[in-house]
Structure 1
Amino acid sequence: MEHGGDIYTEGILKGREILDFSSNINPLGVPESFTNNLNEAVKAVEKYPDVEYRCLKKCIKEYLDFSVEYFKSEAYNEKSESFISEKDIILGNGAAEIIDLSISCFKKVCIVVPSFIEYEKNALKWRCDIIYSTIKKDMTYDYEDILLQVKKSEALIIGNPNNPNGGIINKDKFKKVLDFCEENNKTVIIDEAFIEFTGKNNFSFLEKIKNYKCIFLIRALTKFFALPGIRIGYGVSKNDELIQKIKSKQNPWNINCFAEIAARYVLKDRDYIEDSLKWINEERKYMILNLKKIALMEEVYNTYSNFVLCKIKDLNCDELYKICLDKGIAIRKCDNFKNLNDKYIRLAIKNRESNNKIIKLLNSLS
């Protein structure tokens, strides 16, 4: 499978339960703030959603206003002045729709690789010319090369944090790229689908949209709020021309009433957000520490997200995948990421019980 997360072929369809380490979903599960209010969505089923999604955009705007300060540091200041308006937000049927349609607006794009494979697939589908900038061997961004390559492009596509390695963008080193793009009418598409997992460290570029019209941020409720089946994502930018271009390519009513009710409640669920950050802070450290002790691992890369990229030795990813699947565990093979080979795997970070299962299994193979 291209993306991992296939618990059907060898699992559900064969009556087997698979522990899925290939899918990077918050193990705290669906927030009760959504499930407790499902009846509102059921009542709304018999009518069309508001085609402009005014209430939904208002909820997202309020969440973004909150998150600017909340994810900046432990000293949360609720009184910050808002710089985001509803017209800066465009909604999508998952982040995938926003990624796809934003790429469709350009003829020549620069993609930083390895990265989410849909960037390249979408660019090829829309017949874009693709220029690549390659991440360094230590899986950090090569900012000089990014600047060099973006000069030949109309738009840059980059993850923050990046998938599959979980690296984040260094704001100071990236400033030259942003300044160049702002001055030369180029677009910087920053995929922040996993940004909440980075915690209260001010890694998001949300606040930068005040001064950089070139930035187009993409986010979703999929990963952090454990709602992959809901399919809701959104883009944020001060570039009204790009927002309107994307909107003109969309079908009406692309967000269903269940997604709208989910957003209305989970984005205000401070307890769920706090519990999630406590979990990821603890389990990320635990997972990395223990993976580094396993003899099978040649390299365990630093991550700021809820997954870990590993380079293995002695086995290739296909062999390890089959061994793990026989034990009821699915891992993510990474040989289909550009510039990665069959020695790379990605593991989600789950709860302590699940994390111990994969650690124990990998240890047994050493």
Structure 2
Amino acid sequence: MHGGDIYSDAFPRGRELVDFSSNGNPYGPPEGVGKSLSKALGQAGKYPDLSYRNLKAHILDYHGQSDLSIVLGNGASEVIHRAFTGLSRVVLLGPGYSEYEKSARDHGVSIHWLALEEESRDGLWRLKLPLVKTLAALGEADGIVVAHPNNPDGSVLDPGTMEELVRFAKNRGKRIVVDETFFDYTLGVPSFVRYLGKGLDLIVIRAITKFYGLPGVRFGYGLVSSPETYEGLVAHQLPWNINSFAETFATICLGDAAYRDRMVKRNAAERRVFTQALQGLPLVRKVYQSQGNYLLVALAGWEGPRLKDRLLSQGFLIRSCHDYRGLGPVYIRLAVKKPEDNRNLIEALKKLV
């Protein structure tokens, strides 16, 4: 399940909701996207390049690569779905994005579930991958899916864990699928892109949906190490699955380094302030460390569905995490919004105590 259904929740009330359930960039896309509208409209009068050579060249340049296969998708979800092609058994970690399980079942792939482990350091909580259990499970499977950062908590894999996972998978011929759709928000975190093209069956998935504030422009892509895996992923893909608007906007976004630097710093600063404000509320038991633009929160004395209903009446939509594997009704996820919106939500939560 994605964020809350803003359309069903908002329209019956006849009002606009402040959506804390969806993890898009509240500041919108780079300025160049708006300026490129006329160009995109002009391109819409003809078919896109069937091979998307210019778009793929921009993607390779952005990642500092020169010779990788790229799978393009109508959003990252399409690429995630295709990444299960050729697998028979996969390791999934919970809590995690529900599309992994759905895609596995669509492909008839059996699932070995593992739970992320909770740890606290200096009063700060986070979820981490249980490395020993993960490698043991991967030994009995064809592949594993990891999110870096993970959704709903924003945790990332530390460099040592990444190295061990990659070494194990490479030596035993296992596939690693890495969902990095929120990676652009991270600071000082290594990407799995560094392991591409090194004899490893690795797929790294990115998108412009989240970080660049373009959820309505469906575009994602996967960087694929193995030529054999790539051929399997695109064997039944429909032609022209990326429209001219998505192609134009993607090249603009990937080329705007100043925008990325500005958004990363802005999100990190506001996430820190928002975290501290939440930690000071009596109805909050834990706030988990996050490298994304969202926070996983454990409530005290409240359950997510009930809190969601109360906040809806005040114009806020939050994400109850009661349906995430390994969590329960006391967990919610909150997007990091603009400072004024975050402050308004904090004030609304204070009144519920």
The TM-score range, normalised by the shorter chain, is over 0.9
Identity of aligned residues (%): 33
Secondary structure of the residue aligned to 1:172 is helix
Moved over 4 A (4+): none
Residue 204 of structure 2 aligns with which residue? 217
Aligned-pair distance for 1:105? 2.5
Pick aligned residue for 1:148 from 125, 136, 144: 136
Deviation at 1:176, TM superposition (A): 2.1
2:243 corresponds to which of 246, 249, 256: 256
Deviations along 1:176-232, one digit per CA (max 9) or x if unpaired, are 221111011110101000001003x13211112143522210110010111111111
- Counterpart amino acid of 1:146? T
Instruction: Please point out which of 112, 136, 141 is paired with 1:131.
Output: 112
Does residue 1:179 correspond to 2:178, yes or no? no
C-alpha distance after superposition, 1:263-300 (max 9, x if no partner)? 12111112211220121121011111111111101111
Instruction: Give the match for residue 61 of structure 1.
Output: 60
Q: Is the 8 A contact 1:222 1:231 kept in 2?
A: yes
Give me the TM-score of the superposition, normalised by structure 2.
0.95
User: More displaced, 328-337 or 270-279?
Assistant: 270-279
Q: Distance in 2 between matches of 1:362 and 1:84?
A: 50
Residue 308 of structure 1 is matched in structure 2 by 295
The equivalent residue for 1:11 is 10
Contact 1:4–1:332 (CA under 8 A) maintained in structure 2? yes
The answer to whether the Cα contact below 8 Å between 2:201 and 2:229 also exists between their aligned partners in 1 is: no
Deviation at 1:318, TM superposition (A): 0.9
Partner of 1:32: 31
Where 1:190 maps in the other structure, the secondary structure is strand
Contact 2:196 2:224 in 1 (8 A): yes
Q: Deviations over 1:153-191 (max 9, x none)?
A: 101001000000100011212322211110111101010
Greater mean deviation of Cα atoms: 104-113 or 115-124: 104-113
In terms of fraction of residues, the more strand-rich structure is 2
Query: How far 1:121 sits from its partner (Å)?
Result: 1.0
Distance 2:15 2:61 in 1: 42
1:219-260, CA deviations, whole angstroms, 9 ceiling, x for partnerless residues?
A: 100101111111110001221111111111210000000000
Structure 1 counterpart of 2:295, one-letter code:
V
Q: Secondary structure at the match of 2:337?
A: coil
Normalising by structure 1, we get a TM-score of 0.92
Task: Report how far residue 314 of structure 1 moved.
Answer: 1.1
Task: Report if aligned partners of 2:91, 2:145 keep a CA contact under 8 Å in 1.
Answer: yes
Match of 2:225, SS state, is coil
In terms of mean alpha carbon deviation, does 4-13 or 252-261 score higher?
4-13
Which structure 1 residue ranges, 5 or more long, are not aligned? Answer: 66-82
> Could you say which residue in structure 2 is the equivalent of 1:157?
145
Matches within 5 A, 1:312-351: 312-351=299-338
Is the counterpart of residue 84 in structure 1 residue 66 in structure 2? yes
Please give the per-residue CA displacement for 1:307-335, whole angstroms capped at 9, x wherever unaligned.
00001121111100001111110000111
Unaligned runs of 5+ in 2: 120-126
For 1:137, what is the secondary structure of its paired residue? strand
Query: Residue 59 of structure 2 aligns to which amino acid in structure 1?
Result: I
